[in-house]
Structure 1
Amino acid sequence: MKRVSEFAKAKGISRGRAYQLVRSGALHAEVLGDGSLILDDTAMAWRPRKGRPLSEAMAWHLLAALDSAEQEGLRDAERARIRRHLSEIKKAEHPAQELAEKVSARAELREFAAHLDDVVDLRADPRVLVSGVGAAGSGMVAGDIVEGYVAPNVVDSVIRDYILKERRGGNVRLRVGRAPQMGRAAVAADLADWGRVRELREADRIVRELLLEIA
């Protein structure tokens, strides 16, 4: 556990930048009684991005490539970029984290709190494409967590029907966007976004398995 000032010094960034990362959800922190923040051990795995994330369309192309899905209409230059990104992911200490950073623009993440009585129904709702924690092959039991993708044109009705309250750190994580396909690569990226040890371990397992299949 580290204070924000200690983390900032270790990473060579300003305290303001560190607080910004906490507010954005990139780093997980606990609030002490005096109001100060303590970062958990997983925060030390964070590193500055090497470049901007891929566009939404290219993010899904990269995920599809990792899933070995057939893709038509890609230009030679785009295929070369995807091969380069796959090579960088393969070389990373935490390949799932590298993947998640590259595809962070795939959808907008919104967090909510839902009543525990509604969790099962929400997870089974056809408007929610389940991913991340609780998805098939994730290695994680969902419990009271619901995580998945929701199309922009139905997200408001989902929020209304289940009386979801927008809350950072809530038990419902909805990524608003049109996911063209849902494979193991997206599940791994979603798990890595949690920034916690167990989720990152399972995410790395999935990505390494996928990399072996396309080797």
Structure 2
Amino acid sequence: MTALPLECYYAIFNNLLHNYKSLFSCALVSRHWCRIIIPILWSEPGNHYKDKRLIRILLLALNAEEQTLLIPFNISLPSHQKTLFEYTSYITSITSDLIIGVRNLFPKYESNLSLETTVKFSLIAMLVRTSINLKHLIIDEIICNPLIFENLYEKTTLTSVDLYLKYNISGDLEYKAIDGLVKILYKNSTLNSLNLRSATLGTKGVITLLEALCNDTVLKSLEEK
């Protein structure tokens, strides 16, 4: 078989971006195809974040600091050997389906919001740290945690952020999340879409956000609910 230029393979396989079964079948044809397809296959997990098998693979990528956060809950982390590919480096979007996958993996902890939040936090921190081309992020008030924020602040590939501020969080935590978002707006030169969902920003939050937006020349879409 005559080998095609890499650009041709990418063009062909990218047409199957959301046809996971076909992509997976193609990845089994040869090592050459597999190396091309795996980054495409993992680029947009979508609703596959709900799959507990995917969550197990993500847990393998936690570093020592991210694993330490889970010690108080006495949960058994996967202990498989190192994965063949750095799967998380290919992921371009983090969606709210991630928390559903966490719940599916730890069903007996369903009522333990502390564990649920901590696992979600550790996974998001890891994904922000390891993803090379992260473009879309759905996140809540945990943005104000330094472990996530420091990596997110340097993520210059980010083009879209959905920030959810819950009704039951304290005003102080909400302001910290807004401050974190403002710093991203000042630093990031690629963010062109911001979807902000909050019970109420309050006067301070609105003023802080407007000041940042006045100096932003990249943002093209802003939605607040």
TM-score bracket for the superposition, by shorter chain length: under 0.3
Bigger Rg, structure 1 or 2: 2
Q: TM-score, with normalisation over the residues of structure 2?
A: 0.26
Greater helix content: 2
Q: Give the structure, 1 or 2, with the largest relative contact order (CA under 8 Å, sep 6 or more).
A: 1
